Structure 1
Amino acid sequence: MLPSARELDRLTAPGAFLWATGVEDTFITAPHPKTGRMLDEYELTDHYRRWDADIALMARLGVPCARYGVPWHRVQLEPKVWDFSFVDAALERMLELNIDPIVDLVHYGLPHWMEHAFLNEDYPSRVAEFAARLAERFRGRIRWYTPLNEPRITAWYCGRLGWWPPYGRSWPSFVAVMLSICRGIVETSRALHEVDPDIVAFHVDATDVFESSDPALAEEAKRRQAIVFLALDLVSGRVDARHPLWTWLLKQGAAEPALNAFRERPLELSVIGVNLYPIFTLKRMSRDRFGRLRIRMPYASGALLTKIGEMYFERYGAPIMISETATKGSVRQRQAWLSDSVEAVKTLRAKGVPMVGYTWWPMFALVTWAYRQGLRPLHDHLLQMGLWNLDPDPSGRLDRVETPLVDAYRRLTSGGADAVGPLTPTPRLP
């Protein structure tokens, strides 16, 4: 069983390591204003119907744990209407197969009745209630919960890019969504611990590294990098007048009392989950000939993972788990990233950076987010990043097609910490 909040030292024992996987679980259930499409990955990949077989695939990998999203919009159909039937069945099956769920409570989307989405004034209390009800059902049996996956990306798509509700398109909207999200994370974490003090709140965010060779963009790159850490900094009480974003946050409409509230009752970051992809994570900033900011995402090597591990440990001093990583393309390309990234984890552990787990995510292909606002058929939006491919048969059914990556990953999971080496007993950065 995954260690409880009282047993977390077990994770940093020299021979301990957590291998994991998961099913992509983005839930944007508000229909797109123009296309009418929703983005429920479980629906689009047929997981609602094939959940039992998909969980059996997890078991074949030999993973001791797996991240698994709970579709809040199906659990709480109306403010006073609850239906845990799907969630109960899936989580019970994982437990029966000795796979400890790391429950993903919110993965971008909210129930349809939550007006104004994350800017609803009741959002923090509503999500805390949802978390507590689920935790009560599995008290003592499920110990790890992610209050909200990728708060920064959520705030970006909901508050700055305008793709998802509440469709904000400004930095002030980004900040407003971020503050509400973080209040929800705090309330959720407290509600979980009230149900069971042994629960681990696993805080997961996307990791980007911003760079620029243009001296004129140096300050902007620093600001963007500080924003990468903003959610974790807020919930752990690190944002005060000395924080590099303090003045910027106030200019974007954040109120001092709202910022100070996080410092009054900070959360402990017991374990940090980092999501990183060689195709997305490295951001190189430049200006085009018209002076517009441009950001390229060149393919990164395992050295980027090493840099990220050092950055997060130096900043927070907490154990770190790779909560998502994969790459798109051929099986050979995916195998190369698997080998490169595992080697980077080994390097970090040898340096004393407590990398305690690795998650290949997703276990099979996902449907790209552009599907929701697009018009092309679903099969044109499949992004093959998994250990299994999704292959549409003539009837449109998405078959799970095993690739050689399945055996490669099973060899890693069967060896425990052997593939990544022992963790240096005294964590110390060079």
Structure 2
Amino acid sequence: MPNTPWYRDGRLHFGAGIENTFVPQERPGERAIDEYALTEHYEQWSDDLDLAVSVDAEFLRWGIPWHVVSPERGRWDWSWTDRVLEGFAERGLRPIVDLLHYGTPAWIEGEFAHPDYASFVAEYAARAAERYRGLATDYTPVNEPMLHSLFSGEYGYWPPYRTGEAGLVEIATAIARGFVDTQRAVADVLGETATFVHVDASMRYAGDVDAPEHRETAHRYAHQAFLVEDLVTGRVGDGHPLLPLLRAHGVGDGELAWFHDNAVQPDVMGVNYYPRHSTELFEAGIHHGGGFADPRPTRDDGTDGMVEMLRTYANRYGAPVMLAETCVTDDVPTRLAWLDASVAAVEGLRTEGVDVVGYTWWPLFDMYEWTYRHSDLPRSAHLLTMGLHDLVETPTTLARRRNPVADRFAAHASRGAR
């Protein structure tokens, strides 16, 4: 059918992603993270797009580096992103554009807590949508907004370093307001041609969740995993389990009414699932704060956990779902086993009638762990072997080396295209 959105054509679409975490702020003991710089994507972007084509990826989740296109307030430099998005078009590769992937430009004092954050991010989004209206129509307003909220608002791990429940509520509501304004700004430019792929991280909690010392926290976390998406889609009202938490930290009727009146919905709900990280365990008698600084143990529930998360998001938000990120960080045989098992599980869900429209291996090539920010070791000490292509240090460059996972992914993608 003409003008049928790609996610409505009945196929399972295969794609990959390029890690695009950007936290440019620095302070003593913390250096900037720019994954495009670490992986040399700024220099090798053309070859990297060719890698995506070589594995028969139909789409590539890829982010605009906001801190690069807006290095100072009121100054815009789109020269690099112009070349890359034109490169997508030349190859017939669909970009699903991350507008925000873990950080703001350094000139925004207070980052998400700045009183004008929402207007800043909405202006950037509108400019991007207008500039690339002929090149990109698929946008993710915020990648993993709940992890943003936890890292920047509860754990004090990333700027603006808020902590505790009050910090979580402050940053989650700020990110949610920016999310809404971002989507509405893009929609104002692109109209019905825009597709919005909301993406959040799977957060499952298991173990001794009913232990007296964990019961209240585990209950909150189980609902908290959906907090930002519930806010932006207008689902937080009377009876919402987190309403008392929000009210206790200053969220009033007017703010909740604003979210209800300005709600935005996903065209596709993206679910990120990593079998070794997405299920955290509570242990009786043991307290963990969560996050990188004080992590809980995790449990690998394999494809059962992934299937549960895809069903949960599909039922909760009433939209087609896609597996927006998945992989295991391990050797090639282990990655191959997960690729085959996860594709089979997704296909099984589709057979059962769950509207799963996409499968994304993350990343296209290896990346560097976020612990790089708090380290003084070279990037090689933080390499994560996750990709369809290995990153290999050479005397002159960071080479990409195709591995057997790429061949297997291409075989799955080729079957999915038929």
The answer to whether the 8 A contact 1:212-1:221 is kept is no
SS class of match (2:347): helix
Q: Partner of 2:400: helix, strand, or coil?
A: strand
For the pair 1:97 / 2:91, whether they are aligned, the reply is yes
Corresponding residue for 1:398? 398
Structure-1 residue corresponding to 2:343: 342
Is the Cα–Cα contact under 8 Å of residues 288 and 296 in structure 2 kept in the other structure? no
- Consecutive aligned runs of 4 or more in structure 1 exceeding 6 Å deviation: 290-294
Provide the residue aligned with 1:232 in structure 2.
229
**From 244, 265, 270, the counterpart of 1:268:** 265
Give CA-to-partner distance per residue, 1:262-281, whole Å, 9 cap, x none.
11121122211111101110
The alpha carbon displacement at 1:206 in A equals 0.6
- 1:10-21 aligned at under 5 Å gives the runs 11-14=7-10, 16-21=11-16
TM-score by length of 1: 0.91
Query: Aligned with 2:199: secondary structure?
Result: strand
Compared CA separation, residues 98 and 36, structure 1 to 2 (3 A): same
| Structure 2 equivalent of residue 359 of structure 1 | 360
Equivalent in the alignment of 1:73 = 67
> SS at the partner of 2:263?
coil
Pairing of 1:403-422 with structure 2 (within 5 A) = 403-416=403-416
Matches within 5 A, 1:273-284: 273-284=270-281
Q: 1:48 maps to which residue?
A: 42
Aligned length: 411
Q: Which of 244, 249, 253 lines up with 1:247 in the alignment? A: 244
Residues 29-48 of structure 1 aligned to structure 2 (within 5 Å): 29-31=24-26, 33-35=27-29, 37-48=31-42
Aligned to 2:103: 109
Matches within 5 A, 1:177-188: 177-188=171-182
Instruction: List alignment gaps of at least 5 residues for structure 1.
Output: 419-430
- Please report how far the alpha carbon of residue 416 of structure 1 lies from its aligned counterpart in structure 2 after TM superposition: 1.8
Instruction: Identify if the C-alpha distance between structure 1 residues 292 and 161 changes in structure 2 by more than 3 Å, giving closer, same or farther.
Output: closer
Aligned residue in 2 for 1:137 = 131
Q: CA 1:82–1:337 in structure 2 vs 1: closer, same or farther (change >3 Å)?
A: same
Against the structure 1 CA distance between its residues 373 and 396, is the aligned structure 2 distance closer, same or farther, given a 3 Å change threshold? farther
Name the CA distance, whole Å, in 2 between partners of 1:292 and 1:161: 8
Please name the residue that 1:428 is paired with.
Answer: none
Question: Structure 2 matches for 1:290-309, cutoff 5 A?
Answer: 295-309=296-310
Q: CA deviation at 1:287?
A: 3.2
- Determine whether 1:387 maps to 2:388: yes
Write the deviation string for residues 236-275 of structure 1: whole angstroms up to 9, x where unpaired: 1000021011011112332332122111121122211111
Q: Tell me the equivalent position of 2:311.
A: 310
TM-score by length of 2: 0.94
- Conserved? CA contact 1:212–1:218, under 8 Å: no
Query: Are 1:207 and 2:199 an aligned pair?
Result: no
Contact 1:61 1:410 in 2 (8 A): yes
User: In 1, Cα distance between the equivalents of 2:180 and 2:282?
Assistant: 33
Residue 64 of structure 1 is matched in structure 2 by 58
Shift of 1:36: 5.0
Taking a change above 3 Å as real, the CA distance of residues 39 and 291 of structure 1, as seen in their structure-2 partners, is closer
